[in-house]
Amino acid sequence: MEKHGVTFRDYACAGANLAGGMSIEQVCKVLGIEEPLWAEVQEFWNNNMASMSMDDMKFYGEVFTNPKQGKFANAEGAAGGVEDVLKKYPEWSDFLKMQAYSTEASEVGIEIDFEKEFGITVTEFAQLGGHWSAYYKEKVMDVENFDSYAFEEEGGPAITPEQEERYRVFNLHTELTDKWTAYYKEKFKDASVDLSDDIDF
């Protein structure tokens, strides 16, 4: 299935590059169509998103981490991949800090300017999010949890190195998230409004 010669994966790559700062003119040049046709392509694929296969949707979810793919692999002005932003912010704590900042700011109705605060675009922030989500999935979600009861009470299998690593990564995630959430809750405490501060039991 395609629209004006643009497949779903072309469309996904185009969207990722647009979000990464590539101009519409450049995107249209890479796809070999004019802007009115690109507008129809967008409309078409937006409306057919729910019909796409799991593989296509997986690709759509991951392409924003690496927009230099397909027709955009060698395109001039294509958006950088996650490696570029990881050079700037290599630590998991960096990303969790930004995430907590964004969440807590949103809770008090403030939209943060990533470029001003951290020198990266919203898309680069999303790329970091994709990178660390994949890390968490690999280290925690895809590893069977250690069953301490089975081990201690029923002579079950001993903890494996992967499970030890799972335990460490899980705790690190909790510790860093709690740390940055507490930090930004404190920062925004005066901006927060309690609608019921005069109502008590």
Which residues contribute to the site for another protein (CB under 8 A)?
34-36, 38-40, 42-43, 47, 50-51, 106-111, 192-196, 199-201
Minimal distance, residue 201 CB to another protein, in Å: 5
Minimal distance, residue 194 CB to another protein, in Å: 7
Cβ-count burial 64-102 (b if 16+ within 10 Å, e if not): bbbbbbbbbeebeebbbbbeebbeebeebebbbbbbbbb
CA angle 185, 186, 192 (to 5 degrees): 65
Backbone angles phi, psi at 2, to 5 degrees: -155, 165
Name the residue nearer to another protein (CB basis): 74 or 196. Answer: 196
Minimal distance, residue 180 CB to another protein, in Å: 18
Name the residue nearer to another protein (CB basis): 152 or 198. Answer: 198
Name the residue nearer to another protein (CB basis): 149 or 201. Answer: 201
Q: How far apart (Å, rounded) are the C-alpha atoms in residues 145 and 148?
A: 9
Name the residue nearer to another protein (CB basis): 2 or 138. Answer: 2
Place of tokens 């060698």: 74
Q: 101 and 180 in contact (C-beta within 8 Å)?
A: yes
Minimal distance, residue 20 CB to another protein, in Å: 20
Minimal distance, residue 107 CB to another protein, in Å: 4
Q: How far apart (Å, rounded) are the C-alpha atoms in residues 108 and 91?
A: 27
User: 12: Cβ–Cβ under 8 A, 6 or more apart, which residues?
Assistant: 56, 59, 60, 63
Name the residue nearer to another protein (CB basis): 36 or 157. Answer: 36
